């Protein structure tokens, strides 16, 4: 390995084993003189110059000469005194201090041979890179942290237990990061570590953090929706997305604003249970769906939370297996944990009347969470919202740079017919998931729920004798919350505050999350308007070249053949 020199064997004893040679090595071998001569030299120097300076100062006091006026010999004596003091403190002071700090730990004599072996046994890491990690905010540097890093690398200390054992989340992240870099021999330079509150994600958002990812946040708007103006934060790395949504917001605003309606509000969870026969599974289905039994089940379910309110139970039988889709309101929380607790209460309650019921799983995918599913498209999940606006003809022409007829035709052939040809499930739109994902990331929602939350059908129709354009988006499963999860992080909380929906509503529980759902739908409406207009006017490629692509003629840069 580069940077490591092996000590040559002793020529006077070529047959002596390496171990014996190692034992004959001493730390003083690194000094130009034997150790006792070096110590004697600095002791003599110290007392000699100290005596000389005391003698000279006594003479100056007797002759009334200023002490600060120094001759060349006195300056040299002072430098010699400082040098000897530094050497003697360095040689004897460390052992003296450590004897008080750790008197029970006897220090073994330093053996340079061990340094050589230790360096050779370490993985081949870029030494310059590792040395710069601490300076770049990439790791810990104290001796205690170094010991923990090695313990994590060896597997003695589990990486996931650092926060609990250290009691310092930021320090745990730094140690885990450094151990990861050394283990993989890959640098994490560029992934920020500092400037993040790691305490806020402990046991809530992310495990075993080693840093955080920066996503730029832009704003679109103002979006005029239901008589209110909203400046919409969007976290994205895609060029043109915020600008395009902003243009749609402008078209909506100058046309008098959009209106929205929340059609449904209920989170779902569907456990799967098994019986010995299909008849027995059907018996539980009829029991659960009987209106006479609903009140009893609702009381049991609602014990799980102050805000959980059971709305209905929908059952499906597959042989001797029964899937029960519970739907409940969850206040301002997105509500997955809330509904799961309520479902568990009901299952425990049913077990007494159906002791042969085998609970296979608290979730049987009939919910359905984070997967494209027709049940969400048809029945809804979370907030079901419809949002509409009438865009005047002159706005279509001046702001959107197209015409009503072209937009209506494109919407039919692209969003409706084209999506049907592709066998789309809830994807009858231009790019609803773009806007949903950007707002979800900015406001601390679960980004994986973009799958069902982006279910959307975009409708466009000429109205007022074909002069104006009626546009609507219907989104049956927008899953959002304003409390819990990532909404409590500082950046995401700030974005929710910008929208005026931060935290839980005290006056009307659930109103903040419902308003956030309508803002998502309104922003999707703006995004659909702008993108469809760009497509109808043939502006899509040009706008992307302007905002996030190079406009150079790359053919001229090609090497001649």
Q: What is the pLDDT of residues 250-307, one digit of tens each?
A: 999 999 999 999 999 999 999 999 999 999 999 999 999 999 999 999 999 999 888 9
Q: Is the pLDDT of residue 558 over 80?
A: no
Give the Cα separation of 136 and 270 in Å (integer): 48
* Strand, helix or coil for residue 220: strand
Q: What pLDDT was estimated at residue 208?
A: 96
Whether the bond into 316 is cis, omega within 30 of 0: no
**pLDDT greater than 80 at residue 201:** yes
- State the DSSP H helix or E strand holding residue 322, giving kind and residue range, or none if neither: strand 321-329
pLDDT tens column, 417-463 = 999 999 999 999 999 999 999 999 999 999 999 999 999 999 999 99
Around Cβ 20, how many Cβ atoms within 10 Å? 10
Contact 485, 337 (CB under 8 A): no
Rounded Cα distance between 235 and 438, Å, is 5
DSSP 273: E
State yes or no: pLDDT of 115 exceeds 50: no
Residue-level pLDDT at 81: 82
Q: Which tens digit of pLDDT belongs to each residue from 471-521?
A: 999 999 999 999 999 999 999 999 999 999 999 999 999 999 999 999 999
Residue 123 CA, distance from chain mean position: 30
- Give the β-pairing of 427-428 and 456-463: parallel
pLDDT > 70: what percent of the chain?
80
Tens of pLDDT, residue by residue over 216-226, are: 999 999 999 99
Q: For 58-102, write each residue's pLDDT tens digit.
A: 877 777 777 777 788 878 888 888 888 887 777 666 555 555 544
Buried b / exposed e across 135-149, counting CB within 10 Å, b at 16+? eeebbbeeeebeebb
CA-angle at 512, arms to 375 and 298, nearest 5°: 55
At 23 the pLDDT is 44
Q: Is the pLDDT of residue 408 over 60?
A: yes
pLDDT digits 0-9 by tens, 362-382: 999 999 999 999 999 999 999
Tell which wins on pLDDT, 128 or 552: 552
Residue 138 clears pLDDT 50, i.e. is over it: no
pTM exceeding the 0.85 threshold for the entire prediction: no
Tell me the C-alpha distance between 4 and 115, whole Å: 10
Mean pLDDT is lowest, of 66-70, 127-131, 386-390, for 127-131
**Cα-based distances in Å from 366 to 96, 279, 382, 469, 536:** 71, 20, 14, 38, 39
Going by pLDDT thresholds of 50, 70 and 90, the confidence category of residue 4 is very low
Q: Flag whether pLDDT at 21 surpasses 50.
A: no
Structural tokens at position 15: 């047959």
pLDDT for residue 119 = 37
Residue 17 pLDDT > 70, yes or no?
no
Question: Percent of the chain beyond pLDDT 90?
Answer: 69
Positions annotated as catalytic residues are 238, 370, 446, 544
Long-range pairs for 88-91: beta carbons < 8 A, 24 or more residues apart: 88/42, 88/43, 88/46, 91/39
Which string of DSSP letters, residue by residue, matches 115-144?
A: HHHHHHHS----HHHHHTTTTTT-S--SHH
- Which of 136-145, 233-242, 315-324 is least confident? 136-145
Residue 132 above 50 pLDDT? no
């Amino acid at each position: 390995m580069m940077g490591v020199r092996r000590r040559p064997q002793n020529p006077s004893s070529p047959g002596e084993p390496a171990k014996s040679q190692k034992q004959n090595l001493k730390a003083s071998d690194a000094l130009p003189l034997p150790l006792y001569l070096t110590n004697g030299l600095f002791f003599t120097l110290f007392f000699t110059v100290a005596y000389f300076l005391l003698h000279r100062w006594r003479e100056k006091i007797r002759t009334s000469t200023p002490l600060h006026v120094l001759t060349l010999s006195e300056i040299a004596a002072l430098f010699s005194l400082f040098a000897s003091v530094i050497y003697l403190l360095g040689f004897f002071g460390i052992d003296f201090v450590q004897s008080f700090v750790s008197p029970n730990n006897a220090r073994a004599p330093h053996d340079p041979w061990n340094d050589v072996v230790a360096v050779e046994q370490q993985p081949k890491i870029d030494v310059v890179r590792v040395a710069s990690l601490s300076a770049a905010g990439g790791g810990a540097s104290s001796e205690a942290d170094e010991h923990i890093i090695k313990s994590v690398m060896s597997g003695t200390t589990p990486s996931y237990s650092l926060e609990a054992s250290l009691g310092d989340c930021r320090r745990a992240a730094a140690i885990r990061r450094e151990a990861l870099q050394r283990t993989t021999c890959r640098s994490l330079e560029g992934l920020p570590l500092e400037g993040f509150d790691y305490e806020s994600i402990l046991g809530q958002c992310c495990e075993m953090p080693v840093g955080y990812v920066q996503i730029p946040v832009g704003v679109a708007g103002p979006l005029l929706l239901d008589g209110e103006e909203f400046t919409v934060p969007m976290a994205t790395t895609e060029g043109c997305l915020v600008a395009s949504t902003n243009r749609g917001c402008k078209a909506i605003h100058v046309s008098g604003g959009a209106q929205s309606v929340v059609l449904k509000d209920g989170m779902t969870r569907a456990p799967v249970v098994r019986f010995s026969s299909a008849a027995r599974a059907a018996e539980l289905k009829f029991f659960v769906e009987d209106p006479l039994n609903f009140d009893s089940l609702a009381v049991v379910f609602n014990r799980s939370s102050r805000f959980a309110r059971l709305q209905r139970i929908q059952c499906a039988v597959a042989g001797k297996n029964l899937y029960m889709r519970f739907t409940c309101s969850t206040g301002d929380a997105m509500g997955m944990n809330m509904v799961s607790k309520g479902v568990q209460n009901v299952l425990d309650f049913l077990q007494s009347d159906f002791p042969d019921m085998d609970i296979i799983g608290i979730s049987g995918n009939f919910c359905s969470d984070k997967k494209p599913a027709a049940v969400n498209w048809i029945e809804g999940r979370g907030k079901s919202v419809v949002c509409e606006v009438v865009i005047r003809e002159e706005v279509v022409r001046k702001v959107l740079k197209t015409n009503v007829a072209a937009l209506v035709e494109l919407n039919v052939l692209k969003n409706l017919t084209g999506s049907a040809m592709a066998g789309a499930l809830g994807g009858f739109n231009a790019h609803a998931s773009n806007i949903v994902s950007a707002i979800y990331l900015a406001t601390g929602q679960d980004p994986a729920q973009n799958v069902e939350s982006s279910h959307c059908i975009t409708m466009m129709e000429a109205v007022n004798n074909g002069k104006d354009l009626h546009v609507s988006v219907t989104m049956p499963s927008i899953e959002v919350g304003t409390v819990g999860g990532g909404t409590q992080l500082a950046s995401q909380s700030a974005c929710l505050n910008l929208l005026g929906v931060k935290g839980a509503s005290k006056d009307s529980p659930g109103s903040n999350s419902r308003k956030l759902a309508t803002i998502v739908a309104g922003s999707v409406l703006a995004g659909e308007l702008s993108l469809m207009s760009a497509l109808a006017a043939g502006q899509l490629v040009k706008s992307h070249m302007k905002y996030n692509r190079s406009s150079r003629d790359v053919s001229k840069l090609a090497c001649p053949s």
